[in-house]
Structure 1
């Protein structure tokens, strides 16, 4: 749909989806980019908007996972989702979009498992891959599970009631985690999600996505936002200070060493994550598009 003679999407002009594992800072990036002029959002995450459509909720799919594939985008589901999203969109001033195609920004961690599906629903979709150091991310995921504030499936069939209620996104193979300690559950959530993002983005044409490092974003938010907006052809008209406000889902104030309180749980996991980390860092070093395939050996 990007060629000169291609038919353009009449409702969604290159909608942008932020992709990351849970607890990677996606809310902060979303809240910042939502201040771009001409950008419209639904105001939050799209869990219910997607899962209310018949056949798309885990309960309709044997509670397999949050994965949705291209073949799940039947005409009826595509039409329903597009209508739901369009009706909920508002800009930074709270105004509904005018007639015609609009730039939409969306972020829901579950959607990291739905890239192929989203590409069918929104043929002009663009993506931002947000990466955060796994030590900080895993520590924050552990805290999220323990807090009870991020429960997604409180009565997940087959999940032992003696364990904390299932939190964050539902990854393939979750049933095999029922006997594992919490740090291994979040490790699997993180690694499965990152590998899925990298695989699916690597299959997209060049120019459909860009990448951003969470630490670099915090260190120089103004420059990083301008870079991402330029890559996605979004306007930007605001100056950002050296420190951004806390996002709405912050549990405790950010600290680069905060993960160390869980160091005894996390450090043994790191060697097994090295291949995924190497892939992600290769993408960041290359600046994004076309670099998500596994590194050469």
Structure 2
């Protein structure tokens, strides 16, 4: 099937999924229909892959995995949307595999880590790293059964940054993007998203901040602590990674989108010509997002850097600054 026809079909399916997903956030019945649609579609794709010969997971090329590690509300949706416009690029949307292994490993006690009987014990590290590698590649293949070894798979992991050291050690040939944003803006965006009536509040059913009476200051403190842990872990993975990698600051991406994206593709050695990059940047520019989808309480809230000065109280900003001081000094001197 020609690449242009396949891309057209993917875009149509993506538009349908997006519409159903938007309705699913507001209606339990629509949510059930959406999950049913996803299940039927995935079963059909896996059957098609079987007819073509072989199972999808065996076609995944670890060297063509492009990981985006970041904190949530850092612009990862925008970045992955632009990368998805490149030829032969697909997206693995928040598999949370970094969270799965990273949080479990981070909670382990030193005595456990030193034991051969602990499932992620250091004495058997080489063994379980192979298991993580196989788990990721198998999962990518099942999620994208038509993927070929020539295709690239962008893995968006906003909640998986804590597991970046394990993921990149298990898949050293993969490419890594460390996407960072001022933690004060991250906290402000998250605070807006969790207020009653907002997109996240209405679309979530099991979250720690709902119906708990948590104050905004308590919420901001938890977000700042999470940011420090997750981005700190991702930074260590970035420094240790000897493969292709790039560091992107959200603020630089906003100021010079095309230039920053061009640099990232060059450092990651991704096939991208100037015309394709320019089209991707234009298509996903803030100005092209419908006005009804932007603003307070919406997924696309502000699209600017430095808004925390208006959105956070001085006390809330001080909480974030005190907790994330090591990363602020390094990334935002």
Query: Would you call these one fold, judging by a TM-score over 0.5?
Result: yes
The answer to whether 1:88 aligns with 2:143 is: yes
Aligned ranges 1:255-266 → 2 under 5 Å: 255-256=304-305, 258-259=307-308, 260-266=310-316
Q: Which residue of 1 aligns with 2:189?
A: 140
Q: Which runs of 4+ in 1 moved over 6 A?
A: 150-153
Q: Which residue of 2 aligns with 1:277?
A: 328
Q: Which residue of 1 aligns with 2:91?
A: 41
Aligned ranges 1:185-196 → 2 under 5 Å: 185-196=222-233
Per-residue CA deviation, residues 226-246 of structure 1 (Å, 9 max, x unaligned), is: 110011111124113393445
More helix as a share of residues: 2
RMSD: 3.9
Q: Which has the larger radius of gyration?
A: 2
Give the Cα–Cα distance (whole angstroms) in 2 for the partners of residues 12 and 273 of structure 1. 33
The answer to whether 1:204 aligns with 2:241 is: yes
Give the Cα–Cα distance (whole angstroms) in 2 for the partners of residues 223 and 114 of structure 1. 29
TM-score by length of 1: 0.67
TM-score by length of 2: 0.60
Q: Which residue of 2 aligns with 1:28?
A: 78
DSSP 3-state at the match of 2:179:
strand
Q: Which residue of 2 aligns with 1:167?
A: none
Q: Which residue of 1 aligns with 2:26?
A: none
Give the Cα–Cα distance (whole angstroms) in 1 for the partners of residues 159 and 323 of structure 2. 23
Conserved? CA contact 2:129–2:166, under 8 Å: no
Give the Cα–Cα distance (whole angstroms) in 1 for the partners of residues 185 and 324 of structure 2. 13
Q: Which consecutive residues of structure 1, in runs of 5 or more, have no partner in the other structure?
A: 1-8, 91-95, 165-177, 283-297
Per-residue CA deviation, residues 81-122 of structure 1 (Å, 9 max, x unaligned), is: 3122023338xxxxx333x35422111212211112212442
Aligned residues: 243
Q: Which consecutive residues of structure 2, in runs of 5 or more, have no partner in the other structure?
A: 1-58, 109-118
Give the Cα–Cα distance (whole angstroms) in 2 for the partners of residues 20 and 62 of structure 1. 18
Residue of structure 2 aligned with 1:243, choices 281, 285, 300:
285
Give the Cα–Cα distance (whole angstroms) in 2 for the partners of residues 56 and 193 of structure 1. 13
Shift of 1:25: 0.8
Give the Cα–Cα distance (whole angstroms) in 1 for the partners of residues 140 and 60 of structure 2. 14
